Amino acid sequence: MTVDRLQFERHVARLCQALAQQARPLFSGREAPVVARAPGRLDVMGGIGDYSGCQVLELPLAVGAFACVQRTRAPHVRIVSAGFGHDVAPLRDISLPLAELREACCSYAEARAYFGASADRAWAAYVAGALVALRVELGVELSGGLDILLCSSVPEGKGVSSSAAVTVASFRALCALIGVDVDPVRGALLCQRIENLVVGAPCGVMDQMTSSCGNEGRLLAITCQPARLDGSFPVAEGLSFWGIDSLLRHQVSGASYTEVRVAAFMGYSILAQALGLPVRQAAPPGKVVIDDSRFGGYLANVGVDAFERELAPRLPERLSGADFLRDYAGITDTVTEVSPGSTYRVRAAAAHPVYEHARVHEFRSLMERGASSATCARLGQLMYEAHDSYGACGLGSLGTDRLVRLVRDAGAARGLYGAKITGGGSGGTVAVLGASDAEGALREVVARYAREVNGEPHVFRGSSPGAAEFGIARLVLGDGNVRLERGERSGPVPCERPKGFA
């Protein structure tokens, strides 16, 4: 079991008791609720390159989201969301009528309209979106009422994938309750679809893949073309990763992230046309299909040499959406669109996945060799280069830049080797690489930053299993106590390194 098991059990016991006293009891059915757990993740390398086919390296964090699901005879699906704090009051509590849900679950578009029509139920899309995916993709109908409880210790808006943890945990718990067997990779892809098409967040796939398929204490390598597991490997002996919260809220649906994503796809369309690749108009307007036998549809496959020699000079540094739509048919991305009134940093956004893909491969190769002083220095340099690339795209922030600078100033002499902004950028969490015995230096960095911003940054430490490795448990309720019992345990997700992988 995970380190947060006892905390979860105690919190659920207090919460159920409080709700019963308020005549709003939870889990009144006969069967023990099914429980799944999915962790947040620390984006070590790769980041926003995921939507351009980059390989990414992700560490499942010790914090996670528990989803508990029970069948009921009620004519609704009740969803209760609660944190892990001392306050037992639910953060959110909503009941969605079965009749409404059955109608809304017919398609992703209808579900997005339903959940988006009310601010009170928009948050529930991350949970109930699983019902949409199960119906649309697998033909599973909602046959009766449900009680769903979410307890998450993954803080929202910190760039550690709180939304993916909730979505993956909810999806796996509902699959287990219904009796549907969905393998961890396909489940991650369906959870990405939930966030893209039901919630409306244009995220890549690395968050859901890590939350679903990650292994405790190991870096998960994912080649996002669209979602190939390329093995997991341990952090080199003597090294550790931490995440430091910049106290600046990150939102994957924010304008900066979306603009950089659009700019990357604009760059790909420009390169395709310049190279004479067949481009076909798709629906709706502004979308295209590119027959790309050279790069397979991904900027990450361009390669640094080819990019610098023949492609970078063809890309404008900046380009307005109106000028792009005038000269090009559109972009291949299905979850974003070019805004005529916006100006995009095309060259930097297109260059990032090309260089980041190369950095990630070098980072993994070095990490697997062990922690020599020269290796640690180069690993840190790769992280600093990745951070600077985020800034060139427009995804930096004063807080994350300052944290990276403080780590760099402490340097290898204090056992801190590298740092970078993570995830979608524009705030959120900074990943730090250092010697395992460098906790003192890390605390000094955090203390100095805390004084400068007059706040208390959270530090993410440790790791935990992904949802598949955690498996499925049951929540045993009785006499005011709650006990989590291990049920089916999937074990580590097999993700062998492909033959010929260099």
Q: State how far the Cα of 328 lies from the Cα of 348, in Å rounded to an integer.
A: 19
- Write the CB contacts of 191 (distance below 8 Å, at least 6 apart in sequence): 130, 133, 164, 167, 168, 171, 208, 211, 212
The amino acid sitting at 436 is S
Lookup: tokens for 299: 């900027």
Sequential DSSP letters for 367-383: HHH---HHHHHHHHHHH
**Closest C-alpha among 479, 447, 436 to residue 241:** 436
DSSP H helices, 244-287, are 255-274
Separation CA 496–CA 90 (nearest Å): 42
Residue 199: φ, ψ to 5°: -75, -40
Please tell me what DSSP assigns to residue 198: I
**401 is an active site residue:** no
Residue 296: exposure state from Cβ atoms within 10 A (0-12, 13-18, ≥19): exposed
Catalytic residue among 4, 50, 147, 207: 207
Q: Is the peptide bond before 226 cis (omega within 30 degrees of 0)?
A: yes
Closest CA to 428 of 378, 390, 382, 380: 390
Of 73, 131, 140, nearest to 101 by C-alpha is 131
b/e for 237-266, b at 16 or more Cβ within 10 A?
A: eebbbbbbbbbbebbbebebbbbbbbbbbb
Geometric angle at alpha carbon 428, from 260 and 122, rounded to 5°: 80
Active-site residue list: 207
